[in-house]
């Protein structure tokens, strides 16, 4: 966090998500997830609901229309947070605390547009271009195809849902992981035990699932 804005805690587990919203953010592949997060981070930063902006506009009329607009933006913020954490990210806690700023979600996740652009470029190039399922990615690694530096794929067996696939990618010094379960991909964002770390810190992904790795490259 920047330390320049107050912190707010949101109960993301209780926000209902409509099917129409979910359909806008598919999870068929890691690329889907990256593109969805790009849209959400942009929409979130443009909400015009932040404390400093409200103070700057405090001279404006507090008409019923303005109040309704603020309430609508607050609802939209809750939906964007729920889409991020409950849909596109692998995130289990019921609540999340964020800085009350346009960059609050990005800072807590540890995801910015530069990282997302780098991930998208890797996923749009061989050998990952066009791949969707966890089995597709695991097979690409087993074939020994040339993959981006820092990339790895681990297939965990033994879960009730069958195989769980974890794909690790690196963009410079930044790292991110994607988890495929029951055919749906999410970005790992479950590093919640240490508030000094961003949520996508992924050094404990393998330990979290506690399964024997059957495929690792």
- The answer to whether 140 and 79 have CB atoms below 8 angstroms apart is no
At 133, list the tokens: 């399922």
Confidence at residue 160, expressed as pLDDT on a 0 to 100 scale? 55
Stretch 152-166: mean pLDDT, rounded?
76
- The answer to whether 112 and 120 have CB atoms below 8 angstroms apart is no
Which residues are CB-neighbours of 168 under 8 A, at least 6 positions away?
A: 150, 151, 152, 153, 154, 175, 176, 177, 202, 205
What's the rounded Cα separation, in Å, for the pair 173 and 214?
A: 27
* φ, ψ of residue 155 in degrees (nearest 5): -110, 115
Task: Read off the pLDDT of residues 165-193 as tens digits, 9 standing for 90 and up.
Answer: 999 999 999 999 999 999 999 999 999 98
Confidence at residue 106, expressed as pLDDT on a 0 to 100 scale? 97
The mean predicted confidence, pLDDT, of the chain is: 88
Task: Read off the pLDDT of residues 44-83 as tens digits, 9 standing for 90 and up.
Answer: 999 988 765 555 555 455 566 688 888 999 999 999 999 9
pLDDT: is 3 or 135 the higher one?
Answer: 135
For 68-84, letters b (16+ CB in 10 Å) and e give eeeeeeeeebbbbbbbb
pLDDT: is 201 or 214 the higher one?
Answer: 201
């Amino acid at each position: 966090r920047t330390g320049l804005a107050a912190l707010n805690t949101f109960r993301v587990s209780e926000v209902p998500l409509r099917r129409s919203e979910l359909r806008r953010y598919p999870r068929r592949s890691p690329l889907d997830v990256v593109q969805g997060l790009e849209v959400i981070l942009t929409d979130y930063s443009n909400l015009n609901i932040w404390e400093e902006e409200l103070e700057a506009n405090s001279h404006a009329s507090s008409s019923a229309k303005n109040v309704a607009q603020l309430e609508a933006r607050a609802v939209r913020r809750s939906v964007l947070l729920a889409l991020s954490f409950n849909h596109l990210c692998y995130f289990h806690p019921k609540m999340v605390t964020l800085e009350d700023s346009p960059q609050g979600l990005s800072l807590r996740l540890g995801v910015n547009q530069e990282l997302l652009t780098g991930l998208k470029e890797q996923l749009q190039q061989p050998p990952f271009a066009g791949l969707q399922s966890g089995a597709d990615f695991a097979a690409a690694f087993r074939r020994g195809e040339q993959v981006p530096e820092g990339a790895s794929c681990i297939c965990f067996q033994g879960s009730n849902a069958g195989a769980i696939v974890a794909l690790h990618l690196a963009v410079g010094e930044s790292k991110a992981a994607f988890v495929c379960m029951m055919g749906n991909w999410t970005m790992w964002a479950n590093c919640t035990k240490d508030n000094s770390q961003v949520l996508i810190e992924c050094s404990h992904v393998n330990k979290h699932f506690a399964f024997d790795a059957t495929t690792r490259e």
